[in-house]
Each structure stands twice: as structure tokens, then as C-alpha cells.
């Protein structure tokens, strides 16, 4: 199945979220019919303002913990709170969203033969003992920690899909998404990029946890969406695929780049429990299967985030 083929009906769950809404826009640009599902727990209809003007886009309020009432050819499952602030707020909601959505999507795929593209996460690797992380690494995880509702929910969802592939032959394609940033991130989502940019725009000190030497690899949203839509190009994909930018930065280096753009000072606080010390994708598989190669530099991407955040932060200050 290739995206160059005739128009398809595609469902995006979590459509009103940060990545879901960017994916909706891209699929519409490619000429597809898109049904967006979201319960708006963390998403916002403002993210779908452009899509809402397109006659090929249809939005429905829906909680993926309930069976899906659609018959698409492709489902992109992005329904789950994805930032620590949001997924730890109600851990039972987070866990059941991942697990029950996977169950319902397996049932849908069995009855309609829809292709499922599951948004998994680099969090399945936990605080990794292998660096960089390859898809065959099983992870170093805490199954009972404060982050486990998200980490273990995503791991269980992968189990659902791979068991269903082996048992019933469904076409499920798993992407493990590494740190991604860009326009439409929630101002209060607790992600490090949004935290730093919001703090700098408000004239506050930038808060680093630990010594700031823990590392992350930051992928701009448009690059990630390139990889996501490319998941439909191969005739089949057997295992999970890492998607992210393999260029590694310390959190302190990220903060210093934000300061270079906006000014500010750094402050330090204790490191949260189970916070990974290193996170970097090995994207060899994505390069080979999808011709995936992120292009947006951190400096360019930060300018895009700042341009998006500046009026939104100013609007919150005026309230």
C-alpha cells in the first residue's frame, strides 16, 4: 500500500493533539479522506482549525476506550496523553487508553482488514542500558513507577498488535517515537522544549533537573510526520520502527540555545524519579525501510516553536 495510490479513507485518533493534528493536515494535503477522533481530554479543536475548512475532513468526539464505529482503510492511533504532566494526572485513564484502544483496533482490523499504524514511544526502552537504542533492545523499565502508566501501557499495546499479527495476520505497523517538538505543543505539557520556551518568553529562569547533562534527541514535527506517512509505503513491515532525530544534545545545551534566542538564566532542581539519563534513536531501520532522514536543525526548529508560542504566551499573560 503506497500513499501515491488512489484516495483512501483514513482515521486519526487523537486528532486534536499536537502530533495528531499535524498528521491530519498532511494526510489532507496528500488528498485523502480523513476522519479525526478525539475526546479532547488533552487535545484542542484550535489545532484542527485548518483541517476544519477542508470538506474531506470529518471530526467526531470519541473515546478510544469504546469500540470504533468506522470502516477506514487505515487507522493512525495517536490517542493517549503523551507528556508526563498529562499522563501522570490520571494514570488509570492513561493506561486504559493505550490498552483498550489496542484491543478495539485489533477487533477493527480483523473485521475490516484496515492497516493500523500504532504510535508507540521511546519510553518503552525505559532508562536504557543500551545506547543508542535499537528496535531489538527490550528496555530497562520500572513496571510500578510513576511513569509506568504510559510506558507499560504502550508496551502492552505493542504486545496486543504483535500477537494479533501472529494469530490473525492483521497489518499493524509500530512506530516508536522519540522526543518531538514543534508548533501546537501545549504550553503546559511539561515537555522540556515547551517548558524552556515558555519560561524564557515569560522572563523566568529556565529550570533544569539534575545537572543538565542527561541527553535527548529532538525531532521537529514536520520531519516526524514525513516518517509517519512513509510507514504506509512498504508492502509490509514486520517489527517496530524507531522515528526521531539521532542528533544528541544535553538538556543544558538545549537550554543554552533557548537562552541564545530569548535570553534568561538557568536554575537547577533534583532529577525526577525514573527520568532517563540518555535517549537517542538508532534510525538505521527507518532509513533503510522508509528513506527517513530528519532535516530540520534544532536552531531552526526552536525558531518555529518560538514563533508559535510567542502570541499564545502573550495571550495567557493578558487574561
Cell, residue 49: 482549525
Active-site residue among 150, 181, 209, 220? 150
Provide the 10 A C-beta neighbour count for residue 167.
10
CA distances from 150 to 216, 221, 277 (A): 18, 21, 18
150 noted as active-site residue: yes
Distance separating alpha carbons of residues 102 and 59, to the nearest angstrom: 21
- C-beta separation of 57 from 26 below 8 A: no
Distance separating alpha carbons of residues 319 and 316, to the nearest angstrom: 5
Cell, residue 220: 521537529
Work out the burial of residue 273: count CB atoms within 10 Å of its CB; fewer than 13 is exposed, 13-18 middle, 19 or more buried: exposed
Residue whose C-alpha is closest to residue 235's, from 85, 66, 115, 92: 115
Q: Is the dihedral of CA 261, 265, 268, 272 positive or negative?
A: negative
Provide the 10 A C-beta neighbour count for residue 236.
9
**DSSP run (H or E) holding 208:** strand 206-209
Residues noted as catalytic: 150
Amino acid at each position: 500500500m503506497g500513499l501515491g495510490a488512489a484516495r483512501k479513507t483514513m482515521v486519526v485518533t487523537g486528532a486534536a493533539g499536537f502530533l495528531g493534528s499535524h498528521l491530519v493536515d498532511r494526510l489532507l494535503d496528500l488528498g485523502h479522506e480523513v476522519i479525526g477522533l478525539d475526546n479532547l481530554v488533552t487535545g484542542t479543536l484550535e489545532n484542527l482549525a485548518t483541517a476544519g475548512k477542508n470538506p474531506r475532513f470529518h471530526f467526531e468526539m470519541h473515546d478510544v476506550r469504546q469500540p470504533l464505529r468506522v470502516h477506514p482503510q487505515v487507522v493512525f492511533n495517536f490517542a493517549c496523553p503523551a507528556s508526563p504532566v498529562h499522563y501522570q494526572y490520571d494514570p488509570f485513564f492513561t493506561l486504559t487508553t493505550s490498552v483498550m484502544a489496542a484491543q478495539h483496533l485489533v477487533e477493527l482490523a480483523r473485521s475490516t482488514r484496515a492497516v493500523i499504524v500504532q504510535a508507540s514511544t521511546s519510553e518503552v526502552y525505559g532508562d536504557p542500558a543500551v545506547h543508542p537504542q535499537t528496535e531489538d533492545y527490550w528496555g530497562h523499565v520500572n513496571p510500578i513507577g510513576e511513569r509506568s502508566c504510559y510506558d507499560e501501557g504502550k508496551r502492552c499495546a505493542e504486545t496486543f498488535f504483535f500477537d494479533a499479527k501472529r494469530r490473525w495476520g492483521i497489518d499493524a505497523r509500530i512506530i516508536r517515537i522519540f522526543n518531538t517538538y514543534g508548533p501546537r505543543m501545549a504550553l503546559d505539557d511539561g515537555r522540556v522544549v515547551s517548558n524552556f520556551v515558555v519560561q524564557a518568553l515569560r522572563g523566568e529562569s529556565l529550570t533544569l533537573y539534575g545537572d543538565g547533562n542527561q541527553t535527548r534527541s529532538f525531532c521537529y514535527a514536520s520531519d516526524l510526520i514525513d516518517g509517519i506517512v512513509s510507514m504506509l509505503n512498504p508492502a509490509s513491515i514486520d517489527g517496530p520502527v524507531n522515528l526521531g532525530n539521532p542528533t544528541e544534545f544535553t538538556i543544558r545545551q538545549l537550554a543554552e540555545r533557548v537562552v541564545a534566542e530569548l535570553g534568561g538564566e538557568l536554575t537547577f532542581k533534583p532529577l525526577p524519579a525514573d527520568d532517563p539519563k540518555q535517549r537517542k534513536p538508532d534510525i538505521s531501520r527507518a532509513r533503510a525501510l522508509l528513506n527517513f532522514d530528519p532535516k530540520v536543525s534544532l536552531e531552526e526548529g526552536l525558531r518555529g516553536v518560538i514563533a508559535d508560542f510567542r502570541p499564545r504566551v502573550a495571550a495567557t499573560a493578558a487574561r
